[in-house]
Structure 1
């Protein structure tokens, strides 16, 4: 299987979720199933069926996270020398040439992307346009609203 890039922060978030699922959620669901079994006939026991469904979701998520962490190539950008070049994991400050609005994006893996926190996927059009470029470069990004021109103001390894 191929490896998927992931930041240290993204890996830590997944490990935390995995820990909660295994140590908190899984025992809660097992207890709910045991409690529901005591209520008698399982064919018409909605609590039992709901708990079993929750168990399926929980186990599926545990397998999903373990698979992602197993195939992750964790990249700690803070340990890579800053050459001013845009690479995976960096935080890029961009200036929209038309509006003069400044925006910061961190380039992260697909599972970590969260536009509300200015984390964009390595596979997004903006990130693909930025990778390999350097500070003071001007780039054109094709967006659904048309072509947007940006200037790379800073590249931070944080």
Structure 2
């Protein structure tokens, strides 16, 4: 699993498109296109699956459950994704998330919970990923 993180509109999508352009058989799932959080990737027959907009899916989770339950659900998703990826040698999962941890801490409790859950979720996915890249202004820095 390859986790890509960076600020909003900092070139994450374009960087992933360029980096993974050699793969013809890929499937892009985006929260920005109103796709639901895919828990089980078994229905995708592509070798490369790209999940974009993690922070949006996490916001949806925080609207319906408390922080602890969100984190449990998220860890279960990661485990399902890793099981899918490891089932076939050529499979690659790329997960893209926008960093929402910078700036002023939100005053609204719901937005603080979203920010907290997203931070924990990013820690969880970074720990399980083989590779982590931060994208700022279209440039990557590999941190794992």
Q: Tell me the TM-score normalized by structure 2.
A: 0.23
Q: Tell me the TM-score normalized by structure 1.
A: 0.21
Higher CA-based Rg: 1
**Greater length-normalized contact order (CA 8 Å, ≥ 6 residues apart):** 2
